[in-house]
Structure 1
Amino acid sequence: MDKDRIDGMANQAGGKIKEGVGKLVGDKKMETEGQAQQVKGKVENAAGGVKDAVRDAGR
């Protein structure tokens, strides 16, 4: 598994937590930051998936 996929999953999880805490305490900025972190994680995960596919195709 590519490092980008691991980082992506961590960012998605962290973003989800941050978004939830932001909603809970009424902090719109924190909520938005959490959503942005989730998007970043999805992009990293997708990039890692492409790297994995390329590496597997070369075997």
Structure 2
Amino acid sequence: MPCHNESESLSALYVRAAAVMERIAESWEMVRVNDGSTDDTLVRLPALHREDPTSW
């Protein structure tokens, strides 16, 4: 999933996408890619992974 200047919405995006994926798939993986962001998206991605390493 490309993430360009999405720092403020990364957590909400994960929660919403996970809710859908958990209903339709037994196992799933979300790959997020910092797409040249100028905000702190690149800092937030590993921080979110540390909060819930099983979800990324």
TM-score with structure 1 setting the length: 0.35
Rg larger for: 1
* Higher percent of residues as strand: 2
Answer 1 or 2: which has greater helix percent: 1
User: Structure 2-normalised TM-score?
Assistant: 0.37
